[in-house]
Structure 1
Amino acid sequence: MREVCQTVSLRAAQLCAAGLAAVVEKMRENRGLDQLSVTVGVDGTLYKLHPCFSSNLQKTLKDLAPKCDVTFLLSEDGSGKGAALVAAVASRAANAME
């Protein structure tokens, strides 16, 4: 049972990373950049509490989109609504402080 759960959660992270990789690579190409740095807002119990999901997601994303530096920002607002907005505001605020 444990092996099945590990396999399913790994595959879920890989599928999520594949979709993200396609989006960030397209963003990089459209902007004509050699390297893209972007912040992605995430929300959800799977990303937050699963012991390996976030690391599997990040590793797979780095393998699929090596020219994109993706930072994940966990949204703690209690729902998926606004996660991207929270990430954008937090990223902008952090950049303004540098």
Structure 2
Amino acid sequence: MREVCHTVSMRAAQLCAAGLAAVVEKMRENRGLDKLSITVGVDGTLYKLHPNFSHCLQRTLRDLAPNCTVSFMPSEDGSGKGAALVAAVACRISGLGQ
């Protein structure tokens, strides 16, 4: 059971990274940049509490989008809807997400 749970959660992190890599690579290309640095707001118990999910997500994202540096900003307010969006906007306004 432990091996199944590990496999499923790591696959989920890889799939999440694949979608995110496609988005950030497209953003980089559209902006005509050689390198892109961006901050992404995240919310959710899986990202915050799973012992390996965030590491697998970040590692896979680096492998799939080597020309993009993605920083993650966890939302700490605990609300579900829009928390990641709010964190990303706040980061952008403060100048950290450029």
The residue matched to 1:62 in structure 2 has which SS? helix
Whether 1:14 aligns to 2:14 is: yes
The Cα shift of 1:87 comes to 2.3
Runs of 4+ with >2 A deviation: none
Aligned match of 2:23: 23
Q: Quote the RMSD (CA, aligned, Å).
A: 1.2
The residue type equivalent to 2:93 in the other structure is R
Aligned match of 1:82: 83
Rounded to whole Å, the distance in 1 between the matches of 2:20 and 2:91 is 20
Rounded to whole Å, the distance in 1 between the matches of 2:30 and 2:7 is 35
Where do 5+ consecutive residues of structure 2 fail to align? none
Rounded to whole Å, the distance in 1 between the matches of 2:89 and 2:35 is 19
Where do 5+ consecutive residues of structure 1 fail to align? none
The residue type equivalent to 1:92 in the other structure is I
Whether 1:58 aligns to 2:58 is: yes
The Cα shift of 1:55 comes to 0.2
Q: Is the 8 A contact 1:39 1:88 kept in 2?
A: no
Rounded to whole Å, the distance in 1 between the matches of 2:65 and 2:12 is 17
Q: Percent identity?
A: 69
Rounded to whole Å, the distance in 2 between the matches of 1:82 and 1:56 is 22
Number of matched residues? 95
The Cα shift of 1:91 comes to 4.1
